[in-house]
């Protein structure tokens, strides 16, 4: 026989406790999640994602309860934030914030079930669901094989009740729909009509929902304890070898801070005089480099902290002073980057990308403040979870504030103030932008909203995959319809100052 492969040495301390077989209630919740995923998620996202996520969360809770695990405060925090992320598709229609929210929700749910307070425990728990999908299926299979008769006696009545309910609702629903057209419309909106061509996709969605729910339940029944992962400190360096590069870097950061004080505090005329560039050119020329400087500073702090001298109290004091000063000067870089982007937005308008990098830069500034605070206090055990929490809150705020709506609002407000708008900044936004763009006059309104009208189409989808923003956009475009015809929209864009080559061709 071939020997059973053993896990890597660094992985063994985090081995989970022996798990009990999958409880029947958790298996039922996983099956229900799969059915809801197949039934609701085909064709679009809305409140359906929140419904499926809530049912999967119930299944994980049942598995955790059967394993004797207790709910802790941080578990509640991560879980509530994950469900808040899943509410984004119910409110807004933009694709990128929705994708970001789904990824963050999965990571937060994994962290909630794993737990963790050290850097290894928090960072390795975030993607933990990925390598629990296969073991979750095997765990469920073992639970089904070992299901005792009393367990089957509990499951069978529920399955029979569900089957009877489905039969009764199908028969009487068909009769009511045949008898009354209004009732037929109501029932048609409650659930999808299944086309035979959709069956493969719905089967794939069922499998996806099932294995995801089983993966979370498997974690809840006995998570891997990533906090026990052994992370050895780096080799301690001598004071001169370690401190000299940091002193030089601090001097460079300090020089940059002085230059910024001279240039920026002088205002617009100072920028023109000292650089020969306009405000927007000055902002565009350096923002991305300064953002890279901020990220690299965090990398330098992490590496320097690992190799810092730590034999005496004087060593610890030196590390806190140099690293704290570097973080403090990095805040000047963050402020400069934000100021440059503000100039850029004021001159050229807001876009999705500009808004996203503004949010990220603000979050990086918050992380730097946390690092400074951690250097001033004795214990920094709170830092790993606080950094992740701040990042997830930033992602949640970004999704829940409706970035496309914010972009449209800023560009319309700028148009109302200056009479200038770059329609390229707003034409490719999602329907979240319709309420703000509806305030534009004539040709600008027609050009800005034409692609969104085509995206909406004529018929609305079922309630469970229709966002609040989509419903509001339909109401606006019904109340104030756009002129028909592709040529009409193209002419409107030409009259509004958008050249034909700047907007997308459509069928």
3-state SS, 30-48, equals: HHHHHHHHHHHCCCCCCHH
Q: Are residues 76 and 125 in the same domain?
A: yes
Angle (nearest 5°) at CA 65 between 59 and 67 = 105
448 in Cβ contact with 440 (< 8 Å): yes
Q: Are residues 214 and 252 in the same domain?
A: no
Is 234 a member of any domain? no
User: What separation in angstroms does the CA of 477 have from each of 348, 400, 436, 446?
Assistant: 28, 23, 12, 11
Is 189 a member of any domain? yes
Return the pLDDT at 168: 79
55 in Cβ contact with 31 (< 8 Å): no
Q: Name the 3-class secondary structure at 52.
A: helix
Is 507 a member of any domain? no
368 in Cβ contact with 420 (< 8 Å): no
The range of the structural domain enclosing residue 311 comes to 239-394
* Nearest-angstrom CA–CA distance, 105 and 52: 12
* Nearest-angstrom CA–CA distance, 68 and 63: 9
Which parts of the chain have pLDDT scores under 50? 1, 149, 499-507
Return the pLDDT at 507: 32
Q: Are residues 308 and 187 in the same domain?
A: no
Q: Are residues 318 and 361 in the same domain?
A: yes
* Nearest-angstrom CA–CA distance, 382 and 366: 14
- CA nearest neighbour of 188 among 204, 202, 176: 176
Distance of CA 109 to the CA centre of its chain: 12
Q: Are residues 215 and 126 in the same domain?
A: yes
Q: What DSSP line would sit under 355-406, residue for residue?
A: HHHHHHHHHHHHHHHHHHHHHHSS--TTHHHHHHHHHHHHHHHHHHT-HHHH
- Burial of residue 273, with CB atoms counted within 10 A of its CB: 0-12 exposed, 13-18 middle, 19 or more buried: exposed
Look up the pTM and report it: 0.84
Return the pLDDT at 420: 85
Is 380 a member of any domain? yes
Q: Are residues 158 and 281 in the same domain?
A: no
* Nearest-angstrom CA–CA distance, 213 and 217: 6
Q: Are residues 44 and 177 in the same domain?
A: yes
Domain boundary among 368, 394, 420: 394
Is 7 a member of any domain? no
Q: Are residues 378 and 413 in the same domain?
A: no
Tell me the two tokens of residue 124. Answer: 């390795």
The count of other CB atoms within 10 Å of the CB of residue 395 is 24
Q: Are residues 276 and 196 in the same domain?
A: no
Q: Name the 3-class secondary structure at 499.
A: coil
Is 271 a member of any domain? yes
- CA nearest neighbour of 437 among 471, 402, 477, 486: 477
14 in Cβ contact with 226 (< 8 Å): yes
Is 46 a member of any domain? yes
Residue with tokens 């605070």: 373
Domain boundary among 364, 394, 424: 394
* Nearest-angstrom CA–CA distance, 453 and 473: 9
Tell me the two tokens of residue 354. Answer: 């500009």
Return the pLDDT at 392: 95
Q: Are residues 203 and 337 in the same domain?
A: no
Name the DSSP letter for residue 115.
-
Tell me the two tokens of residue 286. Answer: 């350096």
223 in Cβ contact with 60 (< 8 Å): no
Share the mean pLDDT of the chain.
83
Domain boundary among 180, 208, 228: 228
Torsion angle of the four alpha carbons 116, 118, 121, 122, in this order, in degrees rounded to the nearest 10: 80
260 in Cβ contact with 44 (< 8 Å): no
Q: Are residues 102 and 214 in the same domain?
A: yes
CB-based burial, 462-498: b 16+ in 10 Å, e otherwise: bebbbbebbeebbebbeeeebeeeeeebbbbbeebeb
* Nearest-angstrom CA–CA distance, 292 and 281: 18
Domain count, the chain: 3
On the CB side of 200, CA atoms within 13 Å amount to 1
* Nearest-angstrom CA–CA distance, 55 and 219: 16
Terminal CA-CA length for the chain: 64
Q: Are residues 33 and 122 in the same domain?
A: yes
User: What separation in angstroms does the CA of 225 have from each of 11, 80, 133, 367, 487?
Assistant: 10, 22, 17, 26, 62
- CA nearest neighbour of 209 among 135, 140, 133: 133
Name the DSSP letter for residue 223.
-
Q: How many residues does the chain have?
A: 507
Is 205 a member of any domain? yes
Q: Name the 3-class secondary structure at 266.
A: coil
Q: Give the gyration radius of the chain's Cα atoms.
A: 28
Alpha helices in 87-198 (DSSP H): 88-91, 95-114, 119-125, 133-145, 149-179, 181-190
């Amino acid at each position: 026989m071939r020997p059973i492969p053993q896990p890597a040495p660094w992985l063994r301390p985090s081995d989970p406790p022996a798990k009990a077989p999958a409880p029947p209630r958790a298996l039922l919740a996983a099956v229900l999640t799969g059915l809801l995923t197949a039934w609701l998620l085909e064709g679009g996202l809305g409140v359906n994602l929140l419904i499926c996520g809530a049912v999967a969360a119930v299944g994980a809770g049942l598995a955790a309860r059967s394993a004797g695990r207790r709910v802790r405060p941080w578990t509640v925090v991560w879980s509530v934030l994950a469900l808040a992320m899943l509410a984004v598709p119910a409110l807004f229609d933009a694709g990128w914030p929705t994708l970001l929210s789904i990824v963050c929700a999965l990571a937060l749910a994994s962290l909630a079930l794993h737990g963790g307070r050290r850097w290894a425990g928090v960072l390795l728990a975030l993607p933990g669901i990925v390598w629990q999908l296969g073991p979750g299926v095997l765990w469920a299979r073992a639970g089904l094989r070992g299901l005792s008769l009393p367990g089957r006696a509990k499951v069978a009545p529920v399955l029979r009740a569900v089957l009877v309910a489905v039969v009764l609702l199908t028969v009487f629903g068909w009769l009511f729909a045949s008898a009354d057209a209004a009732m037929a419309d109501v029932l048609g909106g409650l659930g999808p009509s299944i086309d035979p061509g959709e069956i493969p996709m719905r089967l794939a969605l069922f499998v996806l929902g099932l294995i995801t729910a089983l993966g979370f339940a498997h974690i809840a029944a006995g998570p891997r304890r990533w906090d026990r992962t052994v992370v050895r400190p780096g080799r301690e360096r001598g004071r001169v070898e370690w401190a000299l590069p940091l002193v030089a870097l601090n001097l460079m950061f300090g020089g940059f801070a002085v230059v910024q004080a001279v240039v920026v505090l002088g205002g617009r005329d100072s920028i023109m005089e000292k650089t020969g560039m306009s405000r927007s050119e000055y902002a565009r020329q350096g923002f991305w480099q300064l953002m890279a400087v901020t990220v690299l500073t965090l990398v330098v702090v992490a590496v320097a902290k690992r190799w810092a001298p730590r034999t005496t109290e004087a060593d610890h004091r030196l590390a806190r002073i140099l690293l704290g000063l570097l973080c403090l000067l990095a805040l000047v870089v963050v402020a400069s980057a934000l100021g440059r982007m503000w100039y850029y937005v004021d001159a050229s308008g807001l876009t999705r990308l500009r808004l996203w990098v503004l949010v990220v830069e603000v979050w990086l500034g918050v992380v730097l403040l946390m690092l400074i605070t951690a250097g001033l206090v004795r214990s920094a055990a709170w830092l790993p979870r606080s950094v992740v929490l701040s990042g997830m809150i930033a992602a949640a705020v970004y999704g829940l504030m409706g970035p496309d709506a914010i972009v449209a609002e800023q560009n319309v407000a700028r148009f109302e103030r200056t009479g200038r708008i770059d329609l390229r900044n707003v034409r490719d936004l999602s329907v979240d932008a319709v309420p703000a763009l509806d305030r534009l006059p004539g040709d600008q309104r027609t050009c800005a909203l034409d692609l969104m009208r085509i995206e909406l189409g004529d018929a609305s989808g079922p309630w469970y995959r229709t966002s609040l923003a989509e419903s509001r956009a339909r109401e606006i475009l019904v109340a104030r319809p756009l002129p028909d015809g592709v040529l009409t929209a193209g002419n409107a864009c030409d009259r509004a100052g958008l050249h034909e080559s700047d907007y997308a061709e459509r069928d």
